[in-house]
Amino acid sequence: MSHTDRILNQRHLDTMVALDTITLLAARVRKLLSYDRRISMTQRYTYTTSAPELLVGCTLDTKARNGGIVEGGDDTGRYFGVYLRPGLLTGFGFSAYASDGNATEAEAWKRYHAGKDTTDHWHKRRNMIRLTINGGMDGDSGPARDDLIVVRAWNEHGVCEERVIGFDTAAYWAARDTEGGAS
């Protein structure tokens, strides 16, 4: 199955962000955000045992630049970012650059598996993003309880920051039932 088929047809998707996948991945995230739900996000560094930072009651910051969703780039690199509120600099995103070895998903997976979470400086994962998405497919009739985004981003020093984004589906359905006149 090609990476395009996987991204379009697998509800639960575990993938590497690369130039050949980022546009399709961004579309799935946009779909998840389109239901106007409250968002909870945890963020942590995976190398420490400290508790993750938890942000609850967030929403897409539609008053931010480009309505809270920024996207762009060229043949050498692309980025996608989401601004959340309340809070300064609250959000998540992902990017891919050919110069980092992320031109294709296959190339990025090869680099991922070659790198190890280790103290050996020369064998660490670097400049890569692993993305897990549950939901956000074109055929979805509405939001689901298990909609989820997990962004694991390794920087140039081999440090991984993980952000887990969950959605409040109960508030969405309650608002929809009230507006639709359900009894």
pLDDT tens by residue, 67-80: 999 999 998 999 99
Q: How far is CA 52 from CA 7, 11, 112, 126, 127, in A?
A: 29, 26, 24, 22, 22
pLDDT of residue 183: 43
148-170: per-residue pLDDT in tens? 999 999 999 889 999 999 998 77
55: how many CB neighbours lie within 10 A of its CB? 18
Residue from 81, 75, 109 nearest 93 by CA = 81
- Give residue for tokens 């497919």: 137
Is residue 15 within 8 Å of 7, Cβ to Cβ? yes
pLDDT of residue 49: 87
pLDDT of residue 180: 60
pLDDT of residue 3: 75
pLDDT of residue 4: 82
pLDDT of residue 140: 86
pLDDT of residue 17: 96
Q: Which residues of the chain fall below pLDDT 50? A: 182-183
3-state secondary structure of 36: coil
End-to-end Cα distance, the chain: 45
Q: How far apart are CA 100 and CA 127, in angstroms?
A: 6
